[in-house]
């Protein structure tokens, strides 16, 4: 909401010299943000009211040019002007030589069109007054010739752009914000509705009623013999322009002006287009109304309309109807001023996407006490600045129950932690027009008609502290409370993230939005649980309307983005939720408020939402460590992601088992299924070359995805190991076995046969080649033997070695490699 300081100052009596910063500071303290402090129409130098005495038309140019003789008070000036919307005798705004208009436009005496032009006759746009550039500004005839036009037009005045919190509808006017500003600045406040205006008698003819629960009041003032050919008074044009509202016609300008000043939105109808009485009712289902913007709108029964006996005339509080709109020819007018239910207007303006200055005020609640006054004052202005006769007023209203709040002044200390004495509390309440009836500490409060935001004690406490000063709230720490730190799950999650980064991967945080296409591109079949996607009702983009069931699409896209930016080696990981359809079929439930929901209700709410396990996934390609002048560079390989998962699990004392598996998006021969205690926790390995191609990547790409929740669940605290100080005996054994033999099977045989003296066994080489034989491979193991209590003899170890060789021969048809 934009308001000039000058307008506010009319009702808030701070000294004229008060700096804008001071006013801004008071507003901020009261909870109003000031978005901008602007200078309206920055004009410097002489700008005066001039009277056009003579117009000489020069016809020898492309278009007719006017050479005007203008009386600027003490002298006349000859001025060239291209516009033609004025006549001799009109008063205009003249920029004299030496003036500087907005945009650093310097005015000087100059020769043009064969004449000397001694200044400029200005348009509203050239002055920065409004964006109206259709011709020059013609002023009302009662102004003093030669007087300062800057002052008249409010040029150079300061305008504040104030943002009003959604609960403070009452502050959306000079009247509302002025009251609090005066309080904060400790200066006199004059309520704008206390101007004396003529009484209006009850209308003899016009009947009105309220036929809905969503409205509580309507006041209609009728005018006859209305006529205007003049524009709105300059003070009104000025203030509307300063508030960023276009001047249109006297009736529209007057209603806008009073809305800004008093906070009551008004609407004017052409009385001759209306048949019978006027009512507020809910729209009939499917009723059609063509609104001012020439759109035919189909309304539903939740929409409030102002209607006559036959038809809807306007969408209440949101937009007028085209048919009953006032025009130049309207002679009989009805000014409507009403009070609607906040929520109803909010729903309508939102569903029709028609936010307006009026609907913004109705949505936040208007003051029912000013609606009649505003309608009468509007009619009064129309008569005063136009011509016509006020013929009567019709009012219908429902009883509005006044709000009373039981308040204990000790609540201030309980919630804020400061002692504000009761006398001060009472004084603040009174200054906010809140009535107090005291019985000890039981105070009964009556809120003023414009406050729709006060319902509970806490609301009152906020008001008291707001006026007393938020900046005076002290800074204290609560008494220490004992906590137990991070939970096991939280520690595990952090450690997993640190571990992944230490293993060389960079964390990314992708959006969880995917499409079924992206899922099928990974080779995931439509029967896979990951293809059963949760969909958003209102996705940002129809390209990705679903929620992810796997982190891999996002990671693969992120990898491709990095590659496209010239980064050759990519190692990235993500920890995040995935979303699966809820397995329970639960209907949308809304437990009652103001009491704890039952456990069944809580459980139903939890079954309503998707199942959201937390996953950990990574994608790797290119060099693991770059090649260079140092030894041993390595490229990522199929085993890296598998090894990482094993390492992550080992970190938390978890033993995993691996088996070869076929699982999209992985290479069917290079994918490990990873399980903990027979429960599959995820997959790792090399991606299918087809998936890599479709992703716009090239070369080999590796990755894994595991369920983090499973790791968290199985994580155990590592106990201290025991180890022997006796010497170790090392033994290397290479076996020639069939090509399909599994390393882990051989190790199992070795371990079982060797017994407790075998400290460790490790596969250190795998070799295939003609020297080994067709369909054969050699696997070489490094064994370490150690006893806890003695030095092993070579006899002992040779005996075990022999047993191992025999067992491998028997169980795996393996022979010692020569």
Q: Which of residues 401-440 bind another protein (CB under 8 A)?
A: 413-418
- Range 543-602, binding another protein (CB under 8 A): 547, 558, 561-562, 565, 567, 569-573, 575-577, 579, 588-591, 593-597, 602
- ∠ CA(725), CA(729), CA(733), 5° rounding? 145
Closest CA to 801 of 741, 729, 745: 729
Binding segment toward another protein, per CB under 8 A, in 206-214, 464-472, 649-657, 721-729: 464-472
Q: Which is nearer to another protein, 502 or 756 (CB)?
A: 502
Cβ count within 10 A of residue 408:
13
User: Which residues 610-639 are close enough to bind another protein by CB under 8 A?
Assistant: 610, 612, 624-626, 628-630, 632-633
Q: Does 448 bind another protein (CB under 8 A)?
A: no
Minimal distance, residue 469 CB to another protein, in Å: 10
- What residues from 504 to 523 belong to the interface with another protein (CB under 8 A)? 504-512
Of 168 and 786, nearer to another protein (C-beta) is: 168
Interatomic CA distance for residues 277 and 279, integer angstroms: 7
Among 430, 438, 535, 679, interactor with another protein by CB under 8 A: 535
Beta carbon nearer to another protein, 68 or 578: 578
Q: Which residues contact 414 (CB under 8 A, 6 or more apart)?
A: none
- Cβ nearer to another protein, comparing 13 with 29: 29
* CA distances, 656 to each of 131, 196, 492, 711 (Å): 73, 88, 17, 10
- The site map against another protein for 753-792 (x = CB under 8 A) is ----------------------------------------
Rounded Cα gap, residues 371 and 164, in angstroms? 21
Least distance from another protein to the Cβ atom of residue 412, Å:
10
**Does residue 444 sit in helix, strand or coil?**
strand
Compute the distance between CA of residue 619 and CA of residue 572 in angstroms, rounded to an integer.
6
Least distance between another protein and beta carbon 487 (Å): 7
Q: Using CB under 8 A, which of 458, 600, 728, 743 touches another protein?
A: 458
Neighbours of 11 (CB within 10 A): 20
- 48/533 with CB nearer another protein: 533
Which residue, 228 or 612, has its beta carbon nearer to another protein?
612
Q: Which is nearer to another protein, 242 or 562 (CB)?
A: 562
> Whose CA is closest to 506, among 567, 455, 547, 457?
567
Is residue 736 a contact point for another protein (CB under 8 A)? no
For the CB of residue 16, give the shortest distance to another protein in the complex, in Å: 22
Q: Are 260 and 166 in contact (CB under 8 A)?
A: no
Distance separating alpha carbons of residues 803 and 818, to the nearest angstrom: 18
- Of 141-149, 227-235, 340-348, 725-733, which segment contacts another protein by CB under 8 A? 340-348
Of 107-115, 500-508, 671-679, 700-708, which part binds another protein (CB under 8 A)? 500-508
In the bound complex, what is the minimum distance in angstroms from residue 178's beta carbon to another protein? 17
Answer for which of 440, 485, 721, 769 binds another protein (CB under 8 A) is 485
> Rounded to an integer, what distance in angstroms lies between the CA atom of residue 395 and that of residue 209?
8
Is there a contact between 648 and 483 (Cβ–Cβ < 8 Å)? Answer: no
Q: Which is nearer to another protein, 279 or 575 (CB)?
A: 575
For another protein, which stretch binds (CB under 8 A), given 305-313, 374-382, 438-446, 476-484? 476-484
Stretch that binds another protein, among 89-97, 166-174, 209-217, 688-696 (CB under 8 A): 166-174
The C-alpha atoms of residue 679 and residue 274 are separated, in whole angstroms, by 76
84: contact with another protein by CB under 8 A: no
* Alpha-carbon gap, residue 760 to 730, rounded angstroms: 10
Q: Does 230 bind another protein (CB under 8 A)?
A: no
Minimum CB–partner distance for residue 720 and another protein (Å) = 25
Q: Which is nearer to another protein, 204 or 478 (CB)?
A: 478
Please tell me the distance from the alpha carbon of residue 464 to that of residue 424, in angstroms, as a whole number: 9
Q: Could you give the angle at the alpha carbon of 585 between the alpha carbons of 582 and 587, nearest 5°?
A: 110
Q: Do 183 and 26 form a contact (C-beta atoms < 8 A)?
A: no
Q: Which is nearer to another protein, 182 or 737 (CB)?
A: 182
Query: Is the Cβ–Cβ distance between 809 and 803 less than 8 Å?
Result: no
Distance CA 778, CA 769 (A): 9
The smaller minimum CB distance to another protein, of residues 298 and 456, is found at: 456
Shortest Å, Cβ 420 to another protein = 12
Q: CA–CA separation, 352 vs 358, rounded Å? A: 14
Binding mask 123-152 for another protein (x = CB under 8 A): ------------------------------
Backbone angles phi, psi at 245, to 5 degrees: -110, 130
Q: Does 108 sit near another protein (CB under 8 A)?
A: no
**Per CB under 8 A, 487 contacts another protein:** yes
Q: Does residue 654 contact residue 515 with C-beta atoms inside 8 Å?
A: no
Q: Answer for the pair 262, 173: CB distance below 8 angstroms, yes or no.
A: yes
Please check whether residue 243 is in contact with residue 416, taking contact to mean a CB–CB distance below 8 angstroms: no
329 near another protein, judged by CB under 8 A: no
309 neighbors 276 (Cβ within 8 angstroms):
yes
């Amino acid at each position: 909401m934009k308001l000039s300081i000058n307008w506010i100052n009319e009702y808030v009596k701070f000294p004229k010299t008060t700096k804008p910063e001071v006013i801004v500071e008071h507003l901020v303290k009261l909870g109003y943000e000031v978005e901008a402090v602007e200078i309206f129409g920055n004009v410097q130098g002489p700008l005066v009211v001039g009277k056009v005495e003579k117009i000489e038309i020069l016809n020898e140019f492309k278009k007719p040019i006017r050479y005007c003789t203008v009386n600027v008070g003490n002298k006349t000036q000859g001025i060239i002007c291209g516009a033609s919307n004025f006549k001799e005798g009109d008063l205009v705004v003249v920029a004299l030589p030496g003036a500087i208009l907005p945009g650093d436009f310097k005015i000087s005496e100059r020769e043009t069109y064969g004449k000397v032009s001694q200044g400029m006759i200005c348009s509203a746009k050239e002055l920065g007054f409004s964006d109206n550039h259709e011709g020059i500004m013609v002023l009302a005839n009662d102004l003093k010739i030669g007087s300062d036009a800057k002052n008249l037009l409010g040029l150079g005045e300061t305008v504040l752009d104030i943002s009003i919190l959604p609960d403070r509808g009452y502050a959306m006017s000079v009247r509302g914000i002025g009251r609090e500003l005066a309080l904060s600045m400790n200066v006199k406040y004059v309520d704008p509705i206390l101007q004396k205006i003529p009484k209006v008698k009850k209308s003899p003819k016009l009947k009105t009623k309220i036929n809905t629960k969503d409205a509580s009041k309507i006041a209609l003032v009728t005018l006859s013999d209305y006529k205007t050919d003049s524009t709105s008074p300059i003070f009104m044009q000025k203030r509307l322009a300063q508030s960023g509202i276009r001047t249109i016609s006297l009736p529209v300008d007057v209603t806008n002006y009073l809305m800004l000043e008093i906070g009551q939105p008004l609407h004017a109808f052409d009385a001759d287009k209306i048949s019978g009485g006027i009512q507020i009712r809910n729209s009939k289902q499917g009723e059609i109304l063509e609104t001012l913007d020439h759109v035919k709108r189909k309304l539903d029964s939740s929409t409030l309309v102002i209607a006559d006996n036959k038809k809807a005339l306007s969408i209440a509080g949101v937009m007028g109807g085209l048919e009953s709109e006032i025009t130049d020819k309207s002679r009989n007018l009805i000014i409507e001023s009403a009070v609607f239910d906040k929520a109803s207007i909010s729903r309508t303006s939102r569903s029709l996407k028609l936010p307006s200055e009026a609907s913004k005020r109705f949505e936040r609640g208007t003051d029912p006490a000013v609606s009649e006054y505003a309608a009468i004052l509007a009619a009064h202005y129309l008569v005063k600045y136009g011509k016509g006769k006020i013929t009567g007023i019709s009012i219908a209203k429902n009883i509005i129950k006044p709000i009373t709040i039981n308040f204990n002044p000790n609540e201030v200390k309980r919630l804020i932690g400061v002692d504000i004495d009761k006398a001060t509390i009472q004084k603040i309440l009174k200054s906010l027009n809140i009535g107090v009836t005291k019985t000890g500490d039981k105070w009964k409060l009556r809120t003023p008609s414009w406050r729709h935001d006060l319902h509970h004690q806490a609301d009152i406490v906020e008001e008291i502290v707001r006026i007393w000063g938020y900046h005076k709230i002290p800074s204290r720490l609560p008494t220490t409370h004992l906590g137990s730190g991070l939970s096991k799950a939280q520690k595990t999650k952090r450690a997993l993230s640190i571990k992944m980064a230490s293993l060389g991967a960079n964390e990314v945080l992708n959006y969880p939005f995917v499409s079924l296409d992206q899922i099928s591109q990974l080779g995931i079949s439509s029967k896979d649980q990951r293809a059963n996607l949760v969909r958003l009702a209102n996705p940002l983009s129809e390209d990705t309307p679903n929620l992810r069931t796997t982190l891999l699409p996002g990671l693969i896209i992120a990898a491709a983005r990095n590659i496209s930016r010239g980064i050759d080696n990519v190692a990235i990981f993500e920890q995040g939720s995935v979303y699966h359809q809820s397995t329970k079929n639960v209907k949308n439930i809304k437990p009652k408020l103001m009491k704890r929901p039952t456990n069944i209700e809580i459980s139903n709410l939890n079954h309503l939402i998707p199942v959201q396990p937390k996953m950990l996934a990574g994608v790797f390609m290119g060099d693991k460590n770059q090649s260079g002048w140092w030894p041993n560079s390595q490229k990522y390989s199929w085993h890296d992601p598998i090894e990482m998962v094993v390492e992550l699990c080992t970190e938390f004392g978890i033993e995993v088992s691996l088996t070869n598996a076929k699982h999209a998006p992985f290479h069917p021969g290079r994918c490990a299924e990873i399980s903990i205690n027979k429960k599959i926790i995820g997959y790792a390995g090399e991606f299918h070359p087809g998936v890599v191609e479709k992703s716009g990547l090239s070369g080999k790409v590796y990755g894994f995805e595991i369920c983090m929740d499973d790791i968290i669940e199985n994580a155990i605290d590592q106990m201290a190991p025991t180890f022997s100080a006796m010497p170790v005996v090392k033994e290397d054994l290479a076996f020639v076995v069939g090509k399909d033999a599994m390393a882990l099977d051989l190790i199992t045989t070795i371990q079982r046969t060797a017994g407790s003296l075998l400290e460790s066994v490790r596969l250190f080489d795998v070799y295939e080649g003609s020297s080994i034989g067709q369909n054969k491979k050699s696997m070489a193991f490094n064994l370490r033997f150690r006893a806890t209590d003695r030095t092993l003899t070579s006899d002992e170890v040779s005996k075990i070695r022999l047993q191992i060789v025999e067992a491998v021969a028997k169980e795996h048809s393996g022979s010692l490699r020569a």
